[in-house]
Structure 1
Amino acid sequence: MKKNIALAVAGPLWAAVSLVQVATRAGFDLMRHPLSLLSTGSLGWLQIANFVVAGLFLVTGAGSLGGRWAPRLARVAGFGMIAAGLLVMDPGGGFPVGHDAVPTTMTWHAVGHMAAGTVTFTALIAVCYVLARRATTRAAAVAGVLSGTALLAGWLWAMAGGTAGTLTLAVGAIAAMLFLSAAAMRER
Protein backbone atom coordinates (compact mmCIF):
# COMPACT_ATOMS: atom_id res chain seq x y z
CA MET A 1 0.00 0.00 0.00
CA LYS A 2 1.39 3.39 -0.92
CA LYS A 3 2.36 5.48 2.08
CA ASN A 4 -0.02 8.37 1.47
CA ILE A 5 -2.92 5.97 0.84
CA ALA A 6 -2.29 4.22 4.17
CA LEU A 7 -2.36 7.56 5.98
CA ALA A 8 -5.35 8.77 3.96
CA VAL A 9 -7.33 5.67 4.97
CA ALA A 10 -6.39 5.75 8.67
CA GLY A 11 -8.72 8.56 9.78
CA PRO A 12 -11.88 7.69 7.87
CA LEU A 13 -11.55 3.98 8.69
CA TRP A 14 -10.97 4.59 12.40
CA ALA A 15 -13.83 7.09 12.61
CA ALA A 16 -16.28 4.91 10.65
CA VAL A 17 -15.58 1.73 12.63
CA SER A 18 -15.84 3.66 15.92
CA LEU A 19 -19.08 5.43 14.99
CA VAL A 20 -20.76 2.27 13.69
CA GLN A 21 -20.02 0.65 17.03
CA VAL A 22 -21.34 3.71 18.90
CA ALA A 23 -24.62 3.28 17.02
CA THR A 24 -24.87 -0.50 17.38
CA ARG A 25 -23.29 -1.62 20.67
CA ALA A 26 -25.95 -2.15 23.35
CA GLY A 27 -25.51 0.13 26.34
CA PHE A 28 -22.88 2.41 24.81
CA ASP A 29 -23.58 6.13 25.29
CA LEU A 30 -21.10 8.56 23.74
CA MET A 31 -22.26 11.22 26.19
CA ARG A 32 -20.85 9.09 29.04
CA HIS A 33 -18.43 6.58 27.52
CA PRO A 34 -15.15 7.23 25.68
CA LEU A 35 -14.59 5.49 22.35
CA SER A 36 -11.84 3.45 23.99
CA LEU A 37 -14.42 1.70 26.16
CA LEU A 38 -15.64 -0.03 22.99
CA SER A 39 -12.54 -2.25 23.39
CA THR A 40 -14.29 -4.06 26.25
CA GLY A 41 -16.93 -6.77 26.18
CA SER A 42 -17.52 -9.62 23.76
CA LEU A 43 -17.19 -7.36 20.71
CA GLY A 44 -14.23 -5.45 22.11
CA TRP A 45 -11.93 -7.08 19.60
CA LEU A 46 -13.45 -4.85 16.91
CA GLN A 47 -12.23 -1.64 18.55
CA ILE A 48 -8.92 -3.24 19.51
CA ALA A 49 -8.37 -4.13 15.85
CA ASN A 50 -9.58 -0.66 14.83
CA PHE A 51 -6.93 1.01 17.01
CA VAL A 52 -4.16 -1.35 15.90
CA VAL A 53 -4.95 -1.12 12.17
CA ALA A 54 -5.34 2.69 12.26
CA GLY A 55 -2.08 2.91 14.20
CA LEU A 56 -0.29 0.72 11.66
CA PHE A 57 -1.64 2.92 8.85
CA LEU A 58 -0.39 6.04 10.65
CA VAL A 59 3.06 4.52 11.14
CA THR A 60 3.21 3.25 7.55
CA GLY A 61 1.97 6.47 5.98
CA ALA A 62 3.76 9.00 8.17
CA GLY A 63 6.63 9.40 5.72
CA SER A 64 4.26 10.70 3.06
CA LEU A 65 3.82 13.95 5.01
CA GLY A 66 7.31 15.20 4.23
CA GLY A 67 9.29 17.61 6.33
CA ARG A 68 11.00 16.80 9.60
CA TRP A 69 8.39 16.94 12.36
CA ALA A 70 5.11 15.94 10.74
CA PRO A 71 6.23 12.39 9.87
CA ARG A 72 7.80 11.90 13.30
CA LEU A 73 4.69 13.10 15.12
CA ALA A 74 2.35 11.03 12.93
CA ARG A 75 4.52 7.97 13.58
CA VAL A 76 4.45 8.59 17.36
CA ALA A 77 0.65 8.95 17.19
CA GLY A 78 0.49 5.65 15.31
CA PHE A 79 2.60 3.78 17.84
CA GLY A 80 0.46 5.32 20.59
CA MET A 81 -2.72 4.08 18.89
CA ILE A 82 -1.30 0.58 18.57
CA ALA A 83 -0.42 0.57 22.28
CA ALA A 84 -3.84 2.00 23.19
CA GLY A 85 -5.47 -0.82 21.24
CA LEU A 86 -3.43 -3.53 22.91
CA LEU A 87 -3.80 -2.09 26.41
CA VAL A 88 -7.54 -2.14 27.06
CA MET A 89 -9.49 0.11 29.43
CA ASP A 90 -11.35 -1.38 32.37
CA PRO A 91 -15.11 -1.85 31.87
CA GLY A 92 -17.41 0.27 33.99
CA GLY A 93 -19.90 3.09 34.11
CA GLY A 94 -22.57 0.90 32.54
CA PHE A 95 -20.53 -0.47 29.65
CA PRO A 96 -20.49 -3.22 28.70
CA VAL A 97 -24.00 -3.82 29.97
CA GLY A 98 -23.82 -5.15 33.52
CA HIS A 99 -20.65 -3.27 34.49
CA ASP A 100 -22.42 -0.47 36.30
CA ALA A 101 -19.81 0.39 38.91
CA VAL A 102 -17.09 2.86 38.04
CA PRO A 103 -13.76 1.18 38.86
CA THR A 104 -12.09 2.63 41.97
CA THR A 105 -8.65 1.38 40.90
CA MET A 106 -7.16 0.82 37.47
CA THR A 107 -5.51 -2.33 36.19
CA TRP A 108 -2.01 -2.10 34.71
CA HIS A 109 -3.40 -2.32 31.21
CA ALA A 110 -5.88 0.49 31.85
CA VAL A 111 -3.01 2.67 33.13
CA GLY A 112 -1.06 1.73 30.00
CA HIS A 113 -4.05 2.65 27.85
CA MET A 114 -4.26 6.08 29.47
CA ALA A 115 -0.52 6.64 28.96
CA ALA A 116 -0.75 5.51 25.33
CA GLY A 117 -3.73 7.82 24.83
CA THR A 118 -1.74 10.73 26.22
CA VAL A 119 1.07 10.02 23.76
CA THR A 120 -1.37 9.67 20.87
CA PHE A 121 -3.37 12.81 21.63
CA THR A 122 -0.26 14.93 22.23
CA ALA A 123 1.30 13.81 18.95
CA LEU A 124 -1.96 14.28 17.00
CA ILE A 125 -2.44 17.79 18.36
CA ALA A 126 1.16 18.69 17.55
CA VAL A 127 1.06 17.27 14.01
CA CYS A 128 -2.14 19.22 13.28
CA TYR A 129 -0.38 22.45 14.30
CA VAL A 130 2.80 21.57 12.39
CA LEU A 131 0.82 20.86 9.24
CA ALA A 132 -1.23 24.03 9.73
CA ARG A 133 1.96 26.09 9.99
CA ARG A 134 3.34 24.80 6.72
CA ALA A 135 0.02 24.68 4.85
CA THR A 136 0.01 26.22 1.40
CA THR A 137 -3.61 27.40 1.54
CA ARG A 138 -5.46 29.39 4.16
CA ALA A 139 -8.20 26.73 4.27
CA ALA A 140 -5.69 23.96 5.11
CA ALA A 141 -4.05 26.13 7.76
CA VAL A 142 -7.39 26.93 9.40
CA ALA A 143 -8.46 23.27 9.23
CA GLY A 144 -5.22 22.20 10.93
CA VAL A 145 -5.56 24.74 13.73
CA LEU A 146 -9.24 23.93 14.25
CA SER A 147 -8.60 20.16 14.28
CA GLY A 148 -5.70 20.37 16.73
CA THR A 149 -7.61 22.78 18.95
CA ALA A 150 -10.75 20.62 18.85
CA LEU A 151 -8.75 17.64 20.10
CA LEU A 152 -6.94 19.69 22.74
CA ALA A 153 -10.17 21.26 24.01
CA GLY A 154 -12.08 17.97 23.91
CA TRP A 155 -9.32 16.15 25.76
CA LEU A 156 -9.03 18.82 28.47
CA TRP A 157 -12.82 18.98 28.84
CA ALA A 158 -13.08 15.20 29.15
CA MET A 159 -10.23 15.01 31.69
CA ALA A 160 -11.88 17.76 33.74
CA GLY A 161 -15.08 15.71 33.87
CA GLY A 162 -17.03 18.27 31.86
CA THR A 163 -20.58 17.54 30.74
CA ALA A 164 -20.44 15.39 27.60
CA GLY A 165 -16.64 15.35 27.83
CA THR A 166 -16.45 11.99 26.11
CA LEU A 167 -18.42 13.41 23.19
CA THR A 168 -16.12 16.44 22.87
CA LEU A 169 -13.09 14.15 23.05
CA ALA A 170 -14.50 11.92 20.31
CA VAL A 171 -15.27 14.91 18.08
CA GLY A 172 -11.75 16.26 18.58
CA ALA A 173 -10.06 12.91 17.95
CA ILE A 174 -12.10 12.29 14.81
CA ALA A 175 -11.39 15.83 13.55
CA ALA A 176 -7.63 15.40 14.06
CA MET A 177 -7.56 11.96 12.43
CA LEU A 178 -9.58 13.16 9.44
CA PHE A 179 -7.39 16.25 9.06
CA LEU A 180 -4.28 14.06 9.02
CA SER A 181 -5.86 11.86 6.36
CA ALA A 182 -6.78 14.91 4.28
CA ALA A 183 -3.21 16.21 4.62
CA ALA A 184 -1.92 12.92 3.24
CA MET A 185 -4.17 13.31 0.20
CA ARG A 186 -2.95 16.89 -0.32
CA GLU A 187 0.67 15.66 -0.23
CA ARG A 188 -0.04 13.52 -3.30
Structure 2
Amino acid sequence: MTGHPPPDRTPLRWAGLLAGPVFVVSFLIQGAVRPGYDPLRHPVSALSLSPGGWVQMLTFWVSGLLVVLFAIGLRGGGHGRAVPILIALVGAGLFAAGFFACDPISGYPPGSPIPAPRTTHGIVHDMVSTPVFTALPAAMIVLARRWAKAGRRGWATASGVAAPALFACFVLAATGFAQNPVLMPYAGLWQRLSLIIGLGWLAVVGFVPPAHRRPDAAG
Protein backbone atom coordinates (compact mmCIF):
# COMPACT_ATOMS: atom_id res chain seq x y z
CA MET A 1 0.00 0.00 0.00
CA THR A 2 1.46 3.31 -1.09
CA GLY A 3 1.32 6.13 1.44
CA HIS A 4 0.77 9.78 0.71
CA PRO A 5 3.93 11.72 -0.23
CA PRO A 6 5.17 14.13 2.45
CA PRO A 7 3.96 17.70 2.01
CA ASP A 8 6.27 20.06 0.14
CA ARG A 9 7.36 22.61 2.73
CA THR A 10 9.96 24.30 0.52
CA PRO A 11 7.98 27.59 0.35
CA LEU A 12 7.99 27.77 4.15
CA ARG A 13 11.74 27.35 4.19
CA TRP A 14 12.11 30.54 2.19
CA ALA A 15 10.74 32.31 5.25
CA GLY A 16 14.00 31.50 7.04
CA LEU A 17 15.93 33.09 4.19
CA LEU A 18 13.83 36.26 4.43
CA ALA A 19 13.76 36.64 8.22
CA GLY A 20 17.40 37.67 8.53
CA PRO A 21 17.48 40.36 5.83
CA VAL A 22 14.17 41.80 7.04
CA PHE A 23 15.44 42.11 10.61
CA VAL A 24 18.99 43.22 9.84
CA VAL A 25 18.13 45.77 7.15
CA SER A 26 15.46 47.24 9.40
CA PHE A 27 17.74 47.79 12.40
CA LEU A 28 20.57 49.09 10.20
CA ILE A 29 18.38 51.74 8.61
CA GLN A 30 16.68 52.71 11.86
CA GLY A 31 19.98 52.93 13.71
CA ALA A 32 21.43 55.21 11.05
CA VAL A 33 18.59 57.74 11.11
CA ARG A 34 17.41 57.73 14.74
CA PRO A 35 18.58 60.88 16.59
CA GLY A 36 20.68 60.13 19.65
CA TYR A 37 20.93 56.43 18.86
CA ASP A 38 24.38 54.81 18.69
CA PRO A 39 24.35 51.34 17.03
CA LEU A 40 27.69 50.51 18.64
CA ARG A 41 26.37 51.22 22.13
CA HIS A 42 22.62 50.65 22.19
CA PRO A 43 20.62 47.41 21.75
CA VAL A 44 18.41 46.76 18.77
CA SER A 45 15.39 46.59 21.08
CA ALA A 46 15.93 50.22 22.13
CA LEU A 47 14.77 51.22 18.65
CA SER A 48 11.23 50.47 19.87
CA LEU A 49 11.49 53.43 22.26
CA SER A 50 10.63 57.05 21.43
CA PRO A 51 8.79 58.26 18.30
CA GLY A 52 9.09 55.83 15.43
CA GLY A 53 9.37 52.85 17.74
CA TRP A 54 6.48 51.15 15.96
CA VAL A 55 8.86 50.32 13.09
CA GLN A 56 10.97 48.09 15.33
CA MET A 57 7.89 46.56 16.90
CA LEU A 58 6.61 45.69 13.42
CA THR A 59 10.03 44.29 12.59
CA PHE A 60 9.84 41.97 15.60
CA TRP A 61 6.41 40.73 14.56
CA VAL A 62 7.22 40.14 10.90
CA SER A 63 10.59 38.51 11.58
CA GLY A 64 9.19 36.36 14.37
CA LEU A 65 6.36 35.12 12.18
CA LEU A 66 8.80 34.30 9.38
CA VAL A 67 10.98 32.27 11.75
CA VAL A 68 7.96 30.33 13.08
CA LEU A 69 6.90 29.54 9.51
CA PHE A 70 10.44 28.42 8.79
CA ALA A 71 10.38 26.08 11.80
CA ILE A 72 7.18 24.51 10.46
CA GLY A 73 8.87 24.09 7.09
CA LEU A 74 11.73 22.13 8.71
CA ARG A 75 9.43 19.46 10.11
CA GLY A 76 9.92 16.09 8.50
CA GLY A 77 12.84 17.34 6.44
CA GLY A 78 15.62 15.35 8.08
CA HIS A 79 16.34 17.94 10.76
CA GLY A 80 15.02 15.87 13.65
CA ARG A 81 12.39 16.82 16.19
CA ALA A 82 14.35 19.16 18.45
CA VAL A 83 15.63 21.61 15.83
CA PRO A 84 12.21 22.79 14.54
CA ILE A 85 10.99 23.18 18.13
CA LEU A 86 14.02 25.23 19.16
CA ILE A 87 13.73 27.44 16.09
CA ALA A 88 10.00 27.92 16.74
CA LEU A 89 10.93 29.18 20.22
CA VAL A 90 13.26 31.71 18.59
CA GLY A 91 10.45 32.94 16.34
CA ALA A 92 8.01 33.11 19.24
CA GLY A 93 10.55 35.12 21.24
CA LEU A 94 11.02 37.63 18.45
CA PHE A 95 7.28 37.95 17.94
CA ALA A 96 6.56 38.42 21.65
CA ALA A 97 9.35 40.99 22.00
CA GLY A 98 7.33 43.30 19.76
CA PHE A 99 4.62 43.58 22.40
CA PHE A 100 6.92 44.61 25.26
CA ALA A 101 9.29 47.54 24.82
CA CYS A 102 12.62 47.32 26.59
CA ASP A 103 13.56 49.78 29.29
CA PRO A 104 15.72 52.84 28.49
CA ILE A 105 19.33 51.70 28.43
CA SER A 106 22.82 53.16 28.17
CA GLY A 107 21.48 56.70 27.86
CA TYR A 108 18.86 56.03 25.19
CA PRO A 109 16.43 57.65 24.66
CA PRO A 110 18.52 60.80 25.16
CA GLY A 111 18.20 62.16 28.67
CA SER A 112 17.29 58.85 30.32
CA PRO A 113 19.23 58.01 33.50
CA ILE A 114 22.09 55.51 33.61
CA PRO A 115 21.15 53.00 34.86
CA ALA A 116 17.44 53.46 34.18
CA PRO A 117 14.85 51.99 36.58
CA ARG A 118 13.56 48.55 35.64
CA THR A 119 9.89 48.18 34.70
CA THR A 120 7.61 45.18 34.34
CA HIS A 121 7.36 45.48 30.56
CA GLY A 122 11.13 45.79 30.28
CA ILE A 123 11.68 42.66 32.37
CA VAL A 124 9.12 40.74 30.29
CA HIS A 125 10.86 41.91 27.12
CA ASP A 126 14.15 40.49 28.35
CA MET A 127 12.48 37.20 29.29
CA VAL A 128 10.66 36.60 26.01
CA SER A 129 13.65 37.58 23.88
CA THR A 130 16.08 35.26 25.69
CA PRO A 131 15.34 32.24 23.40
CA VAL A 132 16.76 34.20 20.47
CA PHE A 133 20.19 33.94 22.10
CA THR A 134 19.82 30.55 23.83
CA ALA A 135 17.49 28.31 21.80
CA LEU A 136 19.20 29.32 18.55
CA PRO A 137 22.72 28.19 19.54
CA ALA A 138 21.13 25.06 21.02
CA ALA A 139 19.56 24.31 17.63
CA MET A 140 22.96 24.88 16.00
CA ILE A 141 24.61 22.33 18.28
CA VAL A 142 21.87 19.73 17.77
CA LEU A 143 22.01 20.08 14.00
CA ALA A 144 25.82 20.06 14.01
CA ARG A 145 25.66 16.64 15.63
CA ARG A 146 23.18 15.39 13.03
CA TRP A 147 25.33 16.71 10.19
CA ALA A 148 28.44 15.11 11.70
CA LYS A 149 26.72 11.72 11.93
CA ALA A 150 25.53 12.11 8.34
CA GLY A 151 29.10 12.73 7.20
CA ARG A 152 28.65 16.42 6.42
CA ARG A 153 31.75 17.53 8.26
CA GLY A 154 31.92 20.99 6.73
CA TRP A 155 28.36 21.94 7.68
CA ALA A 156 28.79 20.32 11.10
CA THR A 157 31.94 22.33 11.78
CA ALA A 158 30.38 25.59 10.62
CA SER A 159 27.32 25.06 12.80
CA GLY A 160 29.42 23.92 15.76
CA VAL A 161 31.57 27.05 15.55
CA ALA A 162 28.61 29.40 15.02
CA ALA A 163 26.90 28.29 18.24
CA PRO A 164 29.61 29.34 20.74
CA ALA A 165 30.39 32.42 18.65
CA LEU A 166 26.78 33.58 18.86
CA PHE A 167 26.58 32.89 22.58
CA ALA A 168 29.91 34.57 23.31
CA CYS A 169 28.80 37.71 21.47
CA PHE A 170 25.54 37.63 23.44
CA VAL A 171 27.38 37.39 26.78
CA LEU A 172 29.66 40.31 25.85
CA ALA A 173 26.62 42.35 24.81
CA ALA A 174 24.67 41.50 27.95
CA THR A 175 27.66 42.45 30.12
CA GLY A 176 27.93 45.77 28.31
CA PHE A 177 24.21 46.48 28.66
CA ALA A 178 24.64 45.81 32.39
CA GLN A 179 26.84 48.96 32.30
CA ASN A 180 30.23 47.33 32.43
CA PRO A 181 32.44 50.38 31.73
CA VAL A 182 34.73 48.50 29.35
CA LEU A 183 32.08 46.75 27.26
CA MET A 184 29.21 49.25 27.38
CA PRO A 185 30.49 51.46 24.50
CA TYR A 186 30.43 48.45 22.16
CA ALA A 187 27.58 46.35 23.57
CA GLY A 188 25.36 47.15 20.61
CA LEU A 189 28.01 45.92 18.20
CA TRP A 190 28.36 42.59 20.00
CA GLN A 191 24.60 42.12 20.02
CA ARG A 192 24.41 42.83 16.29
CA LEU A 193 27.16 40.32 15.61
CA SER A 194 25.26 37.65 17.55
CA LEU A 195 22.07 38.39 15.60
CA ILE A 196 23.85 38.35 12.24
CA ILE A 197 25.47 35.00 13.05
CA GLY A 198 22.17 33.47 14.15
CA LEU A 199 19.98 34.84 11.39
CA GLY A 200 22.64 34.08 8.80
CA TRP A 201 22.64 30.46 9.96
CA LEU A 202 18.86 30.34 9.63
CA ALA A 203 19.10 31.71 6.10
CA VAL A 204 21.06 28.70 4.86
CA VAL A 205 20.08 25.80 7.10
CA GLY A 206 16.76 25.11 5.40
CA PHE A 207 18.46 24.47 2.08
CA VAL A 208 21.22 22.13 3.27
CA PRO A 209 20.38 18.56 2.13
CA PRO A 210 18.64 16.60 4.93
CA ALA A 211 20.88 14.88 7.47
CA HIS A 212 19.07 11.56 7.75
CA ARG A 213 20.20 9.30 10.55
CA ARG A 214 19.54 5.73 11.58
CA PRO A 215 15.88 5.06 12.42
CA ASP A 216 16.81 4.18 15.98
CA ALA A 217 18.82 7.35 16.57
CA ALA A 218 17.44 10.00 18.89
CA GLY A 219 16.55 13.34 17.38
* TM above 0.5: yes
Residue 118 of structure 1: aligned partner: 130
- One of 25, 36, 39 as aligned partner of 1:27: 36
Which amino acid in 1 is paired with 2:188? Answer: T
Query: 1:134-169 CA deviation, whole Å, 9 max, x = no partner?
Result: 236333223322322222001111222352232112
Q: How does 1:20-99 map to 2 (within 5 A)?
A: 20-65=29-74, 66-96=79-109, 98-99=110-111
Normalised by the length of structure 1, the TM-score is 0.89
Which amino acid in 2 is paired with 1:70? Answer: V
1:150 and 1:171 in contact (8 A); partners too: no
Query: 1:79-122 CA deviation, whole Å, 9 max, x = no partner?
Result: 111111211112343323x3331354211110001101212211
Q: What displacement does 1:187 show? A: 5.1
Q: What displacement does 1:173 show? A: 1.5
Answering whether residue 144 of structure 2 is matched by residue 132 of structure 1, we say yes
Runs of 4 or more off by more than 6 Å in structure 1?
none
The Cα RMSD (Å) is 2.0
1:93 and 1:99 in contact (8 A); partners too: no
Between stretches 132-141 and 121-130, larger displacement belongs to 132-141
Q: What displacement does 1:11 show? A: 1.4
Identity %: 35
Answering whether residue 189 of structure 2 is matched by residue 180 of structure 1, we say no
Query: Aligned equivalents of 1:187 and 1:81: distance in 2?
Result: 27
- One of 161, 166, 169 as aligned partner of 1:154: 169
- Unaligned stretches of 5+ in structure 2? 1-9, 177-181, 211-219
Bigger proportion of residues as helix:
1
1:148 and 1:172 in contact (8 A); partners too: no
Which amino acid in 2 is paired with 1:82? Answer: F
Which amino acid in 2 is paired with 1:59? Answer: V
Answering whether residue 92 of structure 2 is matched by residue 100 of structure 1, we say no
Paired residues in the alignment total: 187
Normalised by the length of structure 2, the TM-score is 0.78
2:105 and 2:116 in contact (8 A); partners too: no
Q: For 2:208, what is the secondary structure of its paired residue?
A: helix
- One of 187, 202, 207 as aligned partner of 1:165: 187
Q: What displacement does 1:127 show? A: 1.2
